[in-house]
Amino acid sequence: MQKSKIQNPKSKLNLNIKSPKKIFNNLSLGFYYSFVIGVLAFVILLSGCSVQEGSVSSEAKVTIRGWHWMTDREEAFDELVRQYEEKTGVRVKFELYAPSDAYTQKVRAAAQAGTLPDIFGLLGEKRDFSSFVIAGHVANLNEEMLKDESAWKNRFFSRAIAVSEFLSGNEFNVEPGVYGVPLDVMNIQMLYNKDLLKEAGIRKPPKTWDQFLAMGPKLKAAGIHGFVSGWGEMWMIDCFASNYAFNIMGEEKVMDTIRGEVSYTDTDWIEVFNLFKEMRDAGFLYSGIVTMVNKTAEQLFSNEKSAFSFNGSWCVNVYSGMNPDLNYGVMLPPKKGKFPMKIWGGAGSSFLVNNRSLFKKETIEFLKWLSDDAQQTYLAEVTKNLPANKNSIGKLSPVLSGFVKAMEDTTHPNIWPVHEFPRVIEAFDKGIQAIIIGEKSPAEIALEVQKVKEKELKKKRR
Amino acid sequence: MVEARLQPKNLTMRIKHTLTNYLFVLPAVLIFGIFYVYPFIKVFQLSLMEWDGILPTMQFIGIDNFKEIMEDKIWWGSMWHAGYITLIALTFQNGLALLLALACNKEIRAKNFYRVLFFIPPILSEVVVGLVWQWILDGNYGVLNNILTSIGLQSMVRNWLADPKTALTCIAIVHSWKGFGWGFIILLAGLQTIPRQLYEAARVDGAGSWQSFTKVTIPLMMPVFSMVIILTILGSMQVFVLIIAMVGQGLVYHTTVPVLRILGAMTGSSRFGYACAQGIVFGLVLIVVSFTQKKFSEKMKYA
């Protein structure tokens, strides 16, 4: 065996150095086995990085895992799961992932990897929801909901349940049933600052669109900004426009447009687009509203920088944190057309049960408990959100009560029988932004949206 | 000799040698295969499918996604926006970086302090930088508008991020401000490798500062310039966090860049196949631009 001896002059250590190839020539078969086992272990390690759905905890008792995105409810959930563990011995471990975009990405990735927790929520359109159901990720709770004369289902506002329900003959071909447990309900309305209106010499909030527009010059003369909202977030523009589409042309015509039977260039749609131009021309809109996120809009309204705001019922909690002395009221958007004003609303957030969970039964039991009167009352009190449970609305503030009153006037794309193409929604919302910044006219946008619609319809037919 | 080589014992040894060689590279090949080759093949496969990212079934649609990209004006518009940001970064950002690197390469006081100071923006989070600049550029209560008003430039006051004429340029400038520190450090390191004797020899030959710069500094810095330019192109074309922090989901389509379109297709429209096709097209564009720039730099080097 050839060896080369090199003496390190500094350390005076003798090092026996062989060429790597020689070393391997002399290795035993055991080495090769070890190497192959090592590689296999590496591969197994990689494949085992993920936690399997419904995995049993190393601890003896059942541990239910849940994911959510609701930063404002984290402490309340912690308290409730503590109570539940004390009562039943079942441990529930909630993990918070925020912001909501990051949460959505995580849920999608987990669904693809098959690592969804026992409880999770979905943020997105009904189309995505249906894909989760078809892929077998979400348990159908219909049987449980309908037990004992629909005892569980009847606890909730009908609108809250509708968001997670698939009716028979639905366009996604999902098996009919209820697939989610609503935690709270919400709706989106107009809010007005009573003190600022008074300062501008306005006695009452507007009932009609014309009254609303007429307030623009008065507010401007008093040095008060008119209207603020998070219209940098596309869905809020969509929501405002949708309210007026229902009000101007009625539900049937809106649905016919989505079906492709009515064009977006119809005069009613141009009237909807024109509302944004009118608001801009009246100097109503807060500067920079088109890129404003809702958090900024909430800060501006709570700091009394704007007389009106368009926001959801969650704002009651937000405003009380930002400015407890804010003197404001809630109202339906001022009417423009002859049809009923339908506002967006329904389930604010819902929890779904992983269909592949090992603890499906325990998870359902926990969600039944969580949606029971006492727990819902506690959640509503602590987080100032509207409870999904009808029996828990006793102790609400006047503003929250105002939001509750409008629950029967709510609608939501997720409960519509038909759904618009995402590309059309994008063109619609971006088009409204273009109107607000004065780049395009309502008629131009109507034409552009219709072009996108026709393209998507053509693609669908193919 | 040949017969001896073919003896079974030698054959076994040769197989053993070959196996040994393969075993050496196997871990690296495995890691490369799992984390690079497989995802690439998967992305390419998905680009030929219509898939929402959730359903267990996918529909093969051939090159329809690529055809759609060719007709997608918003996509190519976003590519132009990224190109515009890159152009400003290449000129303003790298020009500033070079000027500061040249200044810090001279014997000036507190040069170490300046080096640290110029390297602060790159280490800050893009979200933080975006939000701070959003506050500075705010149309209602922004610092910039306050300064302009106080110095009598009222006519220039505007909502910088909500105006289609200024929004993208503001983003490009903030991106350049955040990124110039990288160029500065690399260029400074390059400048410090140029031997002083070359400048002294040039001075002896009668060269002034400008001639020293154009005849000594620039030719010797060409490889460094090339690297900085490629890094700037790759970094600027893929900017998106800063844009989200500054203008949220964007001002109409005026601030849309390719990465935001890809994200939008993936999470907004649930079109994974289309998003993958966009990713491939975007990757190809970046490769072509980088290679063109490299060839151009090589030509410049030998010119």
* CA–CA min distance A405, chain B (Å): 32
Residue ranges of domains in chain B, CATH in brackets: 2-46 (no CATH), 73-302 (1.10.3720.10)
State ipTM: 0.81
* CA–CA min distance A112, chain B (Å): 7
Domain A187-345+417-461: which topology? Answer: D-Maltodextrin-Binding Protein; domain 2 (3.40.190)
pLDDT tens across A299-326, in order?
A: 999 999 999 999 999 899 889 889 999 9
Please say if the pLDDT value at position A14 is more than 80.
no
Number of cross-chain residue pairs from A and B with Cβ atoms under 8 Å apart: 100
Lowest mean pLDDT among A75-84, B7-16, B94-103, B261-270: B7-16
pLDDT band for position B77 (50/70/90)? very high
pLDDT tens across A19-60, in order?
A: 545 544 555 555 556 666 666 666 555 554 444 444 444 445
A419 chain-B contacts, CB cut-off 8 A: none
pLDDT tens across B10-60, in order?
A: 888 888 889 999 999 999 999 999 999 999 999 999 999 999 888 888 999
B54 chain-A contacts, CB cut-off 8 A: 108, 111-112, 128, 131-132, 135, 137
Tell me the average pLDDT across A249-253.
Answer: 96
Domain ranges of chain A: 63-186+346-413, 187-345+417-461
Mark yes or no for CB contact A437/B249 under 8 Å. no
Task: Answer yes or no: are the C-beta atoms of B255 and B167 closer than 8 Å.
Answer: yes
**Nearest chain A residue to B167, by CA:** A291
Lowest mean pLDDT among A17-31, A70-84, A221-235, B61-75: A17-31
- Count Cβ atoms within 10 A of the Cβ of residue A225 and give its class: 0-12 exposed, 13-18 middle, 19 or more buried: buried
A63-186+346-413 belongs to CATH 3.40.50.300: no
pLDDT the model gives residue A305: 93
pLDDT the model gives residue A346: 80
